[in-house]
Structure 1
Amino acid sequence: MPVKWVSGLRVTIGYAAALVAVAAVLAAAGPAVHDRVIRYASTNLHNLAHGRIGTLLGSAFVVDNDGMALWLPGLVCLLAVAELLWRSRTLVLTFLVAHIGATLVIAAALALAVREDWVAHSITRVSDVGMSYGAMGVLGMLTAAIPSRHRPAWVCWWLTLGAVVALSTHDFTDAGHVVALTLGMLVSSRFGAPGLWTGPRLALLTVGSAFGYLVVAASAPAGTAVVASIIAAGAALAAGQRGSVAMIAGWLSRLTGKASPVTSRKKL
């Protein structure tokens, strides 16, 4: 990898190295220490209610599953393309907003559900660690770098996929993924122009998007994931067609100097 690329990926490389280091230490320490760290690093209601605010950050560095060698390259590609497009500071900001924001939103929803006896009280101590909320926020931030004519399809694909999966699994983590995606998309609306797309960056986007899909659909049964993908594809296709109609209407408006009826009904 060229030196310029390495210097431009300080956050991506540093975060990946930290994840590997923490996982290696926990593996070497044994199951008892591993379980204790997971318990204290979790951003569950029990820890948050006891003032363990540090879990909001520390939980992003602890991963409670196997197969890191399989998913880490996808995470690296996702973070790398975002960092190359918008620099390190913007990547860190978006990751933190999505990770902490989605955690707090889901915690508030769970607190209400527990108070109203909609869910069992045992959910307050469920392990909740990992980087998936932050990663979904980074995926959402890429929205601002997608060409405007494809952006409605991109947004509809990811939000529809996440919503269908969350509704089918009734899992609070899946709901958190949708919240994190939305936060990433909202934050990206405040960004300036991204860097230019190049062949390597498009390759990183492809692998990073595949990783994002696996994160969103991981907890859903295979059949549900397929159905969710089909529904999301239909929503994306419909959004893309509306975007194309609006774009053509805009061209006609500029040519004729008159407002187009289609443009006037367009909702952003």
Structure 2
Amino acid sequence: MLSRLFSSLLRVRVTLSYSTALFVIASLLLILGPQVQDRVVSHLSTNLENLGRGHLGTLLGSAFVTAEGYTFLLLPGLACLLALAELLWRSRRLIQAFALGHLGATLIVAAGLAAAIKLGWLPISVAHANDVGLSYGALAVLGTLTAAIPMRWRPAWVGGWVTTALVVAVAGSDFTAIGHAVALTLGILLSMRFRSDSHWTPHRLSLLAIGIGFGLLMLVGVSPHVAPIALPAGIAAALLATWARRHWVARSQSSRASLATVSA
């Protein structure tokens, strides 16, 4: 019994380690008070000010704190999403996906903000805005699940998520939403290198359902007022992608049947 439990926990060891670290750090910051928390967030932020000073350690440290102190609220959904990915892809690929999303989206957003400030499109104060959290890495992991989605549902999955992320990024007023769209896209692109022969058990479907809810919370949470537009747009895109795929499959089958008839 204990050996079986230990074996199951070992399969999601990265998820457990990261979740435990987040819980411990959040608890310590809660005990130390808001002033200490603000200083820690400011020190670990991957904003242009810190990156410009060569504080590259923020690229790692920023993944272990949240600016608003929402770690306890986000942790259950995050753990389910990461656990599912670790069961599907194993620990090494989970780390690869999370790191690509967190580092890649952070650096791309930073480069975009620097260019926008230099061109006068954004005020210099943006360079000092806090940018910490786990959302970039988590959304990249969500994107990699594309490889595990059955082929007939994959266009709907990609179309729905990408549309929702883009609508929030365009209609929202937070540059974090742009980072979310970038991270999700990086994860989807990375999924092209992943292969999954695992079956969708009820347990994994439950983790997927929670992961989807967590992903939606991440996307629309930065601009809640955009949710009434972004969510219907995502659903519409998913339905359109499903219809387009079915239409394409039907035409392909019809063409093959016609060729077979002519050959006969």
* Normalised-by-shorter TM-score class: over 0.9
Report the Cα distance in structure 2 between the residues aligned to 1:167 and 1:117, rounded to whole angstroms.
19
Shift of 1:217: 0.5
Residues of 1 paired with 2:233 and 2:127: CA distance? Answer: 33
Letter in structure 1 aligned against 2:120 = D
Matched, 1:207 2:193: no
* Greater fraction helix: 2
Q: Deviations over 1:162-216 (max 9, x none)?
A: 1111111131100000000000000110112242211100100000100100110
* Separation of aligned partners in 2, 1:257 and 1:15: 55
Amino acid in structure 2 at the alignment position of 1:231: A
Given that 1:75 and 1:135 are in contact with CA atoms closer than 8 Å, whether structure 2 keeps it comes out as yes
Aligned pairs (5 A) from 1:32-111: 32-111=35-114
Tell whether 2:30 aligns with 1:27.
Answer: yes
Q: Deviations over 1:127-161 (max 9, x none)?
A: 11000000000110001111111111111111110
Say whether residues 1:10 and 2:13 are aligned partners: yes
Counterparts of 1:142 and 1:118, CA distance in 2: 36
Q: Are residues 1:189 and 2:192 paired?
A: yes
Q: C-alpha displacement at 1:33, in angstroms?
A: 2.1
1:255, distance to aligned residue in structure 2 (A): 4.6
Amino acid at match of 2:246: S
**Aligned residue identity for 1:228:** A
Q: TM-score, normalised by structure 2?
A: 0.93
Contact map agreement 2:48 2:127 (CA 8 A) in 1: yes
Contact 1:95 1:134 in 2 (8 A): yes
Equivalences for residues 109-188 of structure 1 within 5 A: 109-188=112-191
> For 1:82 and 1:185, how far apart are their aligned partners in 2?
13
Conserved 8 A contact 1:26-1:33 = yes
Unaligned residue ranges in structure 1 (runs of 5+): 259-268
1:43/1:59 contact within 8 Å kept: yes
CA distance in 1: counterparts of 2:32 and 2:198, whole angstroms: 43
Residue number among 231, 249, 262 corresponding to 1:229 in the alignment: 231
User: Which ranges of structure 2 fall in alignment gaps of 5 or more residues?
Assistant: none
Number of residues of Structure 1 aligned to a counterpart in Structure 2: 257
Q: In 2 relative to 1, CA 88–254 (structure 1 residues): closer, same or farther, beyond 3 Å? A: farther
SS at match of 2:66: coil
What's the C-alpha RMSD, in Å, of the aligned pairs?
Answer: 1.6
Native 8 Å contact 1:19 1:63 kept in 2: no
Query: How far apart are 1:226 and its partner, in Å?
Result: 1.6
Runs of 4+ in structure 1 deviating by more than 4 angstroms, as ranges, are: 253-258
**Amino acid paired to 2:236:** G
The letter of the residue matching 2:131 is: D
For the residue of structure 1 that corresponds to 2:223, the secondary structure is coil
